[in-house]
């Protein structure tokens, strides 16, 4: 085994949480279909499995005594990916053409600046993703046709509504529109999950303050019905970020719509734009009851719905809005996180990189 030498040098011990022999963990890493490297803070390779050797075209690397990352792979993109994972403290990914290998690399930061590097062939991965997206697209397409027909039936019934069936027809139309939104959101989420950062549509430079105001203008009719207002705080200088205009618009729309849904009548949605050396922070706060422990753990999962008593609006979403925000953040090289504001209400923060 490529990790045999490492296992032989390692003193047998057990993982603290699950009680599994270290040698067993290493055997699992050796057998996984992807390539794996474990790097110390000095970028020396302490573990490399056979699959990684093949993908990086460096046979025998596991027999070397702690080779440097540059000795195993000279591509500067790999070193930059590892440094980025350490700097940002979260998973980073990049696509890399190495010889005749089209690879996807994922860097996972660990404690004390250690990094695990995972490699996989994008050719086989793309085939799986294309099959998945094609399946979701086919399902969505098949659902759209009967949904459109049912919506037309609902409109026809609404034109002939009587006092006896008005409530039923209104409910039918509402549920059909919700199903239509659900199909569209599922399709969009599938596309986002199959998109790597900086891949796909070309990025444009966007003024976030202008974009927030445009999004709120679309929500204002709903907000005015309940007397909810927007407070936007931002620097005097334009807040410019690179990104896909339609997807960033969608992310802001989902965040503001979510805050509006949980805001009390006569309340306020507060949006702050903060600039750092490399990042822009978009924070969206409502004045609702805040997030429970379950909310904080599952908020960005598909179809998760919190305590219905928190909702201050009759509108019901698809349950995919914040999952879509999370995927849009990832495809832009950013992230989204949630918490409770010290003065009350839920606080959701979208972190986006500034132009390099």
pLDDT of residue 98: 80
pLDDT of residue 117: 92
Residues 6+ positions from 88 with CB-CB distance below 8 Å: 109
Do the Cβ atoms of 118 and 105 come closer than 8 Å?
Answer: yes
Burial (0-12, 13-18, 19+ Cβ within 10 Å), 268? middle
Q: 166-193 and 321-331 are packed helices; what angle lies between their axes, rounded to 10 degrees? A: 20
Enumerate the active-site residues. 141
Do the Cβ atoms of 259 and 286 come closer than 8 Å?
Answer: yes
How does residue 296 score in pLDDT terms, banded at 50, 70 and 90? confident
Q: Among 258-267, 317-326, 331-340, which is the least confidently predicted range?
A: 317-326
327 or 190: whose pLDDT is higher? 327
Burial (0-12, 13-18, 19+ Cβ within 10 Å), 343? exposed
Taking only the tens place, the pLDDT of each residue in 235-261 is 988 888 988 888 899 999 999 999 999
Question: The whole model's pTM is what?
Answer: 0.55
All structural domains of the chain: 4-122 (3.30.450.20), 125-193 (1.10.287.130), 204-353 (3.30.565.10)
Taking only the tens place, the pLDDT of each residue in 307-331 is 665 665 655 566 788 888 998 888 8
Per-chain mean pLDDT for the chain: 80
Mean pLDDT to the nearest integer, 4-30: 53
Q: What is the C-alpha R_g of the chain? A: 25
Q: How far is CA 316 from CA 302, 303, 305, 319, in A?
A: 15, 12, 10, 8
Mean pLDDT to the nearest integer, 134-145: 66
Burial (0-12, 13-18, 19+ Cβ within 10 Å), 217? exposed
Helices (H), ranges, 160-235: 166-193, 208-226
Task: Look at the block and give the residue holding tokens 């039923």.
Answer: 168
pLDDT of residue 132: 62
How far does the chain reach from its first CA to its final CA, in angstroms? 42
179: pLDDT strictly greater than 80:
no
Mean pLDDT to the nearest integer, 330-345: 89
Mean pLDDT to the nearest integer, 295-299: 84
181: pLDDT strictly greater than 80:
no
């Amino acid at each position: 085994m490529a990790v045999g030498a490492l296992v032989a040098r390692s003193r047998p011990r057990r993982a603290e949480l699950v009680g599994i022999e270290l040698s067993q963990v290493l055997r699992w890493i050796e057998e996984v279909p992807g390539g794996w490297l474990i790097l110390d803070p000095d970028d020396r390779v302490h573990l490399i499995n056979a699959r990684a050797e093949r993908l990086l075209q460096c046979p025998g690397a596991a027999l070397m005594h702690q080779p440097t990352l540059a000795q195993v792979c000279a591509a500067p993109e790999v070193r930059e990916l590892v440094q980025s994972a350490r700097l940002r403290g979260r998973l980073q990914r990049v696509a890399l053409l190495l010889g005749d290998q089209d690879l996807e690399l994922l860097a996972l930061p660990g404690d004390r600046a250690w990094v695990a590097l995972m490699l996989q062939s994008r050719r086989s991965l793309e085939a799986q993703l294309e099959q998945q997206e094609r399946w979701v697209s086919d399902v969505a397409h098949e659902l759209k046709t009967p949904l459109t027909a049912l919506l037309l039936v609902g409109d026809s019934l609404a034109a002939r509504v009587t006092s006896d069936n008005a409530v039923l027809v209104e409910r039918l139309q509402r549920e059909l529109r919700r199903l239509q939104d659900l199909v569209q959101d599922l399709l969009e989420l599938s596309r986002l999950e199959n998109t790597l950062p900086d891949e796909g549509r070309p990025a444009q430079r966007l003024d976030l303050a202008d974009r927030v105001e445009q999004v709120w203008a679309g929500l204002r009719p709903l907000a005015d019905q309940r007397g909810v207002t927007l407070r936007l705080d931002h620097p005097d200088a334009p807040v410019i970020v690179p990104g896909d205009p339609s997807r960033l618009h969608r992310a802001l729309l989902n965040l503001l719509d979510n805050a509006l849904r949980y805001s009390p009548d006569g309340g306020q949605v507060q949006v702050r734009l903060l600039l750092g050396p490399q990042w822009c922070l978009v924070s969206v706060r409502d004045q609702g009851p805040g997030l429970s422990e379950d909310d904080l753990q599952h908020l960005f999962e598909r179809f998760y719905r919190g305590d219905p008593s928190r909702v201050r609006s009759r509108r019901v979403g698809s349950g995919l809005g914040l999952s879509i925000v999370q995927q849009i953040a990832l495809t832009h090289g950013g992230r989204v996180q949630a918490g409770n504001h010290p003065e009350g209400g839920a606080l959701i923060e979208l972190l986006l990189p500034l132009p390099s």
